[in-house]
Each structure stands twice: as structure tokens, then as C-alpha cells.
Amino acid sequence: MELNILEAIAQTNVHKDFTLWTDKLLNWALTSGLQILIIVVIAWLLKVIAKRSIQRIVKTAVHHGSGMEDGEIKRMNTLVRIFSWTMNTIIVVIAAMMVLQEFGVKIAPILASAGIVGVAIGFGGQYLVKDLITGFFIIFENQYRIGDVVNIEGIGGVVEDISLRVTTLRDMNGTVHYIPHGEVKKVSNSSKQFAKVNINVGVAYEADINYVKEVINTIGTDLATDLAWKDLINEAPHFLRVDSLDESSVSIKIIGETKPLRQWEVAGELRKRIKEGFEKAGISIPYPQRVIHNIGVGNVPDTEV
């Protein structure tokens, strides 16, 4: 009889504890839990609104004229990416602090500790500050953008990503390079506004230079009017000058203007057509030659190598 009474009391206590726990959980869900849900929803909405606002503001600031050029699109995408990342970071940090506060975590000591740590890092974070400041001016001055082909301190490649601190390059071998902005002192950009075809072709000394000029200009004009290539070329490749008189050939300078990043494929096609055109026109591209004079060896004739 006493055992049954004890079991009944124990069951009653368990029931009371469970009821008390569920009441607390329900009360937390209706207060702090609901607050956390509202914070998360508002943070998500702020991120969406911020992204769209940034896109509109940046597009208005960058866009000039009736149509969007490739350079403007690249710059707009780069700025939107950086500003969106910065704004998202701020929103997430603030929302996380508010959520921690709803869980009963006092954020004042965390903020104080962060301030102390920030001061400590500041003494050794000069390079980080330098990277951030330089990165800001690189972006503000539009020195290069995501998708550009650049050469930074001897490292060339396609810009895959830009943050305020570092630029990510991928070279022709597929290797990824991370370059802190504080290390950037000189940048060569091959993607701004237009590019140049700039090649030299050697012809024999016996060739008629005026005829060579005519053939080269004809080849360049045909290439610039070809349906497959005309949209890539701003100015037809043409004869510029006799660039040098080499040991076994006369070097001809040929230049033209192309769309950004199209200079290599246009130059490759131009070289192909020049070789074919010279063969048809009877213009020879000479091999290196050397004349050896045999002195004091009887009547052995001179040998041309």
C-alpha cells in the first residue's frame, strides 16, 4: 500500500516537472523564440532589399549612355559583389548579436572583449589596414574588375574574385594566385576599352616592300570584313612600317585594334592568313642564314648555311 502511494507521488512529480518544462518552453517560444524568428526574417528581408538597392545604385552610378558595355558590366558586377558582401556581413553580425541576447547571453562583455582584442590586433594589423585601403582605391579607381586579364607584379591571369583585402588570379596553367592588395604596386590591364594586335613578320631582302605592304593590307581588310571576325575587330590590321633590318630578313610591323581580350585570337588568325597569303603572292619568309668564308684553304668556295 505504501509502495503504491510512493509510486503515485513520483508519477505526480514527474508530471508536474514535465508540465512545468513544457510551460517554460511554450512561454520561451512565444516570447524569445518568436523574437528570434522575427529577427531572422527581418535580417533575410534586409539582405534581399540591400542587394537590390545596391544593384540599382551601382548601375545608376556606373551606367552612362543607352547601352551597357562589357567594361561597365564587369565593373558593376565587381562593385555589387563587394558592397553586397560587406552589407551582408554587417546584417548577419547584428542579427547574431540580437539572437544571442534572446538566448540570455550578455553581449556587453563580448563587445568589450572585441574592443580589447581589436586594439591588440591593431598594433600588428598594419598590413591588413594597408591591404584594405589599397583595395578600396583599386575598386574606386576601377583599375581592374572581375573577368579582366591583368598582370600584377609579374603574375598574369584572369581576375576571378576581388575583395577589399585580396585579389584572386588564375593563370594560363590553371594555378590560382592570391595577391594581397598591400603588395600591389603596378598593374597591367589587358581588358580596358580596346586591345592591339602588334606583330612582326620577316620577309626576304629581295622582296618588294611596296608589294608586301599591299598584300598585308589586303589580308587585314579581308579579315576585318569576314563575318566570323568583323565583330571582334575595331580597326583592320595593316602595314605600319619597316621595323628593323635583321641579319637575314626585313622585319615588318603590323598593327590593328580589337575588342578587349580578343587580340590573341585575332593575331593568331592574322598570322595564319599572312602565311597563306605570302605563299600565294610568292613572298618568302626567310630562314636564318649565315655565310661562312673559308680563308686560306685553297679554292674551297664560300658556304652558305
For residues 220-241, give the mean pLDDT. Answer: 93
User: What pLDDT was estimated at residue 286?
Assistant: 83
Ranges in the chain annotated CATH 2.30.30.60 = 129-189
The correct CATH number of 195-281 out of 3.30.70.100, 1.10.3720.10, 3.40.50.620, 3.40.50.300 is 3.30.70.100
Percent of the chain with pLDDT over 90: 30
- How far are the Cα atoms of 193, 284, 289 from residue 305, in angstroms, in the given order? 47, 17, 6
Report the distance separating Cα 124 and Cα 122, nearest Å. Answer: 5
The DSSP code for 154 is T
pLDDT band at 69 (very low <50, low <70, confident <90, very high): low
Q: Which fold has domain 129-189?
A: SH3 type barrels. (2.30.30)
Tally the C-alpha atoms within 13 A of residue 78's C-alpha that lie toward its C-beta. Answer: 28
At the topology level, CATH places domain 2-124 in: Helix Hairpins (1.10.287)
Contact 278, 284 (CB under 8 A): yes
Whether the predicted pLDDT of 10 surpasses 60:
no
Name beta bridge partners: 188: 151
> What DSSP character marks residue 234?
E
Q: Which residue has the cell 568589450?
A: 112
Q: So what's the pLDDT on residue 298?
A: 55
The pLDDT assigned to 266 comes to 94
Highest mean pLDDT among 29-33, 47-51, 54-58, 288-292: 47-51
Name the residue type at position 199.
Answer: I
Yes or no: say if 162 and 146 are a contact pair by the CB < 8 Å rule: yes
Least confident segment among 54-58, 90-94, 170-174: 54-58
What are 74-118's pLDDT values in tens digits? 777 777 877 888 888 888 888 888 888 777 777 766 666 656 556
For residue 50, the model assigns a pLDDT of 87
Q: Does residue 25 have a pLDDT over 80?
A: no
* Range 236-241 average pLDDT: 95
> Which pTM value belongs to this model?
0.59
Q: Enter the C-alpha cell of residue 267.
A: 593575331
The segment(s) of the chain belonging to CATH 3.30.70.100 are: 195-281
| The pLDDT value given to residue 87 | 86
Q: Which of 32-36, 121-125, 243-247 has the lowest average pLDDT?
A: 121-125
pLDDT at 54: 83
Q: Which three cell numbers stand for residue 234?
A: 575595331
Any long-range contacts for 241-248 (C-beta under 8 Å, 24+ apart)? 242/209, 243/200, 246/202, 247/288, 247/289, 247/290, 248/202, 248/286, 248/287, 248/288, 248/289, 248/290
The pLDDT of residue 70 is 65
- H/E stretch holding 5 reads helix 2-28
For the chain, residues classed under CATH 1.10.287 are 2-124
Q: What pLDDT score was predicted for residue 100?
A: 81
**Maximal C-alpha separation, the chain:** 140
Q: Quick one: pLDDT band at residue 124, thresholds 50, 70, 90? A: low
Give the Cα separation of 43 and 48 in Å (integer): 9
Find how far residue 91's CA is from the centre of its chain. 26
